[in-house]
Structure 1
């Protein structure tokens, strides 16, 4: 299931980290038996500045990073401005179960998988 996301990510790794809308955030993608987990580094971005949208099979994380506070910056790794990142979501994801939360500059988007149903024996009754 993760192959689609992984392949899509590899295809985009040769591109510059900038997109038409700004700088694409760095992400890690994990998979276990019950879900896919997308972890995005978004330092300085609060929940009100992030939008997570699912449109058919495309999940987009977009938002705006605020300008740095005034003063002399000693180190700046995250540029202010708009950002966006889009992923192709494989089949087998429960769209209504997708959740997103941000804490301490890290966004976690959980995409639950459809639970596989085990085969069961169905009794045949005489009528």
Structure 2
């Protein structure tokens, strides 16, 4: 991958950090696809709803946070847990050739897809000369 994105924060994939709510915070697994038109990020965030996502961009740092609402049916005792329940957080530094004004996000089946289009190239302006 070239300089479209730099390496994300260095948090261990399997070692969650503790958040203020005393819930583990995980770094979601992410696929990155680069095309001529831009970059797409696909983050695995099971259990996160659209209302529980916070995506912000400040000084070219794109930060994604997702809060998981833990659902447990009443009168049911958990016998086995396949994955740790917790929130998600990940950050990426965007390169200058991506357009922050046109970023789009879509959440479907636990996968957050962010489309980061490239900025349109600024072409030199031709100045017409008028004659009298």
Which TM class, normalised by the smaller chain length? 0.7 to 0.9
TM-score w.r.t. length of structure 1: 0.78
Q: Is residue 16 from structure 1 mapped to residue 19 from structure 2 by the alignment?
A: no
Q: How big is each residue's C-alpha offset from its partner over 1:80-101, in whole Å with a ceiling of 9 and x where there is no partner?
A: 2222100010111111100111
TM-score between both structures, scaled by the size of structure 2: 0.75
Verify: 1:25 aligned to 2:31, yes or no: no
Query: Does structure 1 residue 52 correspond to structure 2 residue 58?
Result: no
RMSD of aligned residue pairs (Cα, Å): 2.6
Higher helix proportion? 1
Aligned length: 122
- Listed as ranges, the gaps of 5+ residues in structure 1 are none
Q: What residue in structure 2 maps to residue 63 of structure 1? A: 66
Query: Residues 96 and 4 (structure 1 numbering): CA distance in 2 closer, same or farther, change over 3 Å?
Result: closer
Q: How does 1:1-127 map to 2 (within 5 A)?
A: 2-3=2-3, 5=5, 7-9=6-8, 12=10, 15-17=11-13, 18-19=16-17, 21=19, 22-69=25-72, 70-77=76-83, 79-116=84-121
Q: Where in structure 2 are there 5+ consecutive unaligned residues?
A: 20-24
Alpha carbons 1:66, 1:80 under 8 Å: kept: no
Superposed CA offset, 1:30-51 (max 9, x none): 1101111010001121101111
In structure 1, how many angstroms separate the alpha carbons of the residues matched to 2:36 and 2:12? 33
How many angstroms does 1:112 deviate by? 0.7
Higher-Rg member (1/2):
2
